[in-house]
Amino acid sequence: MDNTRKVFTLTELGKSIRSVIERSYHSTYWIKAEIAKLNYYPRSGHCYPELVDKAGNVIQAQMRALIWAADYKTINNQFSVVAGEPLREGMSILFRASLNYHPVYGLSLHIWEVEPAFTVGEMAMEKSRNLEKLKKEGVFTTNKTLSMPLLPKRIAVISVETSKGYSDFLKILREQAGDYAWWHFLFPSVLQGDKAAEGIISQLRIIRKVQQRFDLIAIIRGGGGDIGLNCYDDYQLAREIATSPLPVITGIGHATNETIAEMVAWSNKITPTDVAYFIVEGFRNFEQRIETASRTLRAKTLNLLSFQNNTLNFFTSSIAKGPVYLISRQKNQLDTLTSSLLRDTRTIQQSQKDDLQAKALKMSMGIPKLLWKVQFTADNHQARLSTLVKQFIGNEKAVIENLQTKRDLLDPLNVLKRGYSITLLNGKKVTKSNEAKHGDELVTRLKEGVLKSRVVK
């Protein structure tokens, strides 16, 4: 072991680093960062944020910070008044802090002040970017184009079961729409703060799977004012609402700046009770339409019955007064028709008789002439047919004789008779000298007899 080496303890190294930092970083600095984790402890009141600086989703720097209880209370109250919600994870903040180093706890930032206007600006810019993104994707008005059912009776409610807003919503429906057949199902979710967007998205996706069981979705939140509403500007939540297959109505209990979630919803009501009154109004409007239709139908029915009754009375009166006159008139018409019928019948009978006699005479004179004409035509056809048959037989006989002559000329025996012969080698005719070789036996057929010879050259 080299005894000349300078060795430091970890404590000495820590104290040295601390002294360097205290000398070099002795003032406070304005720093911009994102709160990755808030780490607030209500019991002590102290807060130990974990801060990060990102480029996209990549963390470039990370550091711990601390805010003592008294400072945290003041900072958080001031921040909530300006920004509309308390400090939370995911926020980008601009803060004034001093740099501390402790040999045991390491490097940290002591936060003295937070500038809420910076965060408000960042939130506004994020909201503007999300709005532009939804419009560019073409889904910003998608939910508004859906058709609301004539009677929205089946309601999917996203709320907190113990919230006053949910209680007020049910109270209005039970009191104002007690006679109507409505039904609801609660999908519980946190509706403000860091986890609200994630919870609402999860419930919307569950509802999407059973959409055929519901007519509309109501997202209602009671109380809380404008605190914690930044979650409703979340891009994923707004997109889930915009693309929901069911109409979405929001009632999250504030009347200031409209959030993106409210902008993309089918309709935005300020409070949960307004949502309830909207549903009640749908029932009442339909009931009024039914009542109006009923009154109109009753009035038209009474008018029709009155008209038909008057018509019936008129016909009754006419029937009571007119039978005698009608019978007399009908009797006269019947007598006239009878006389006319007898006269016309005699005329028609005589005409038909004369016509029949004329046709009989014409027929008796025309039949012999017709028979002679038919006989004459038949004789002509027979003579012509006989001539054609003889001509055909003569032509065919000449063709046959011509074919026989050609056959005789081509008969091999007749060829031999004219002095020709046929030479055969092994039963096959020889037409060229090179088809036979020395010593082959040839057979020559003549008109009479056969010659056998042998090839010598």
User: The CATH number of the domain where 142 resides is what?
Assistant: 3.40.50.2300
Residue type, 370: L
278 and 142 housed in the same domain: yes
Tell me if 304 is assigned to some domain: no
Smallest CA-to-CA distance from 36 within 24, 21, 23, 49 is with: 49
Tell me if 329 is assigned to some domain: no
Tell me if 356 is assigned to some domain: no
User: The CATH number of the domain where 23 resides is what?
Assistant: 2.40.50.140
Q: What is the pLDDT of residue 2?
A: 63
Smallest CA-to-CA distance from 457 within 429, 437, 430 is with: 437
Question: Which residue among 126, 151, 171 closes a domain?
Answer: 126
173 and 267 housed in the same domain: yes
Q: What is the pLDDT of residue 325?
A: 67
207 and 235 housed in the same domain: yes
Q: What is the pLDDT of residue 213?
A: 94
Tell me if 229 is assigned to some domain: yes
119 and 153 housed in the same domain: no
255 and 226 housed in the same domain: yes
Smallest CA-to-CA distance from 252 within 210, 290, 224 is with: 224
**Dist. CA 123–CA 384, nearest whole Å:** 116
Summarised one tens digit per residue, pLDDT across range 175-223 is: 887 777 889 999 999 888 778 889 999 999 999 999 999 999 999 987 5
Tell me if 44 is assigned to some domain: yes
Tell me if 337 is assigned to some domain: no
Tell me if 92 is assigned to some domain: yes
Q: Is the pTM of this model over 0.85?
A: no
Q: What is the pLDDT of residue 30?
A: 92
Question: Which residue among 263, 286, 309 closes a domain?
Answer: 286
68 and 113 housed in the same domain: yes
395 and 433 housed in the same domain: no
For Cα atoms 227, 231, 234, give the angle at the middle one, nearest 5 degrees: 150
Tell me if 351 is assigned to some domain: no
Range of the domain at 375: 365-408
174 and 266 housed in the same domain: yes
Q: What is the pLDDT of residue 14?
A: 85
User: In the chain, which residues have pLDDT < 50?
Assistant: none
